[in-house]
Chains A and B, each alone.
Chain A
Amino acid sequence: AQKVTQAQTEISVVEKEDVTLDCVYETRDTTYYLFWYKQPPSGELVFLIRRNSFDEQNEISGRYSWNFQKSTSSFNFTITASQVVDSAVYFCALSGSGSRLTFGEGTQLTVNP
């Protein structure tokens, strides 16, 4: 069985602060994929990143960065210099060979001006 845990239900920061969203996963698959999605109030899930289990290189895309650590089964997401437009629910998700996504419960991020 696969499981994704996002322990932080809600996070509130002031604009320009850095914020890290935690994600811990469980899987028995040797090959798997990790994802982050953003869900703004409109409801549509927006794809942010995909990582496969063989690639532990950290990734940076603009103000976003991801830290994948297989040893601790974690795939954390950091937003640098947060902006009000970053306010949304963020989901971490996992898929194995079957490509179905198992989502965490999400973290509600609120960035205050």
Chain B
Amino acid sequence: ETGVTQSPTHLIKTRGQQVTLRCSSQSGHNTVSWYQQALGQGPQFIFQYYREEENGRGNFPPRFSGLQFPNYSSELNVNALELDDSALYLCASSLVGTRITYEQYFGPGTRLTVT
């Protein structure tokens, strides 16, 4: 069973630029969630994708957007980068059923630094 993978591992961008982060979900999972983890803090929910549609969003501005593809992989796009966007971005995949929430399995994360 292949776990959750993310690319790239590290990324350095300049303020104002745009960035795309990628995530491949674990085999058999149908849902992908993205989290932002600032240094020394707990992860914050950005949004979730289920069946290629956004299925819930946290308190993040519209310049954070995403996609989910038919193979359940996903992208996180951030436009007009700000210094505060520097963080570890975590992708998690899970299997969402009709009555139950299963655990989310996380990838290794992408460390984004905005200068």
Contact = CB atoms under 8 A, between A and B. Distances in A.
User: Are A and B associated in one complex?
Assistant: yes
Interface of A: 4, 33, 35, 37, 42-47, 50, 52, 91, 93, 95, 97-106
A101 B96 CA distance: 13
Main SS class of interface, B: strand
Interface centre among A4, A101, A104, A106 (most CB of B within 10 A): A101
A44 to B, nearest CB: 4
Contacts, number: 62
B108 A43 contact: yes
Given A98-B56, A101-B35, A103-B43, A44 B103 contact: no
Question: What interface size band does chain B fall in?
Answer: 20 to 34
Nearest to A45: B106
Contacts of B104: 47, 99, 101
Nearest to B48: A100
Given A91-B43, A93-B42, A100-B45, 8 more contacts: A43-B88, A44-B106, A44-B107, A52-B100, A98-B48, A99-B48, A101-B35, A101-B92
Given A100-B56, A103-B43, A33 B108 contact: no
Contacts of B48: 98-100
A52 B103 CA distance: 11
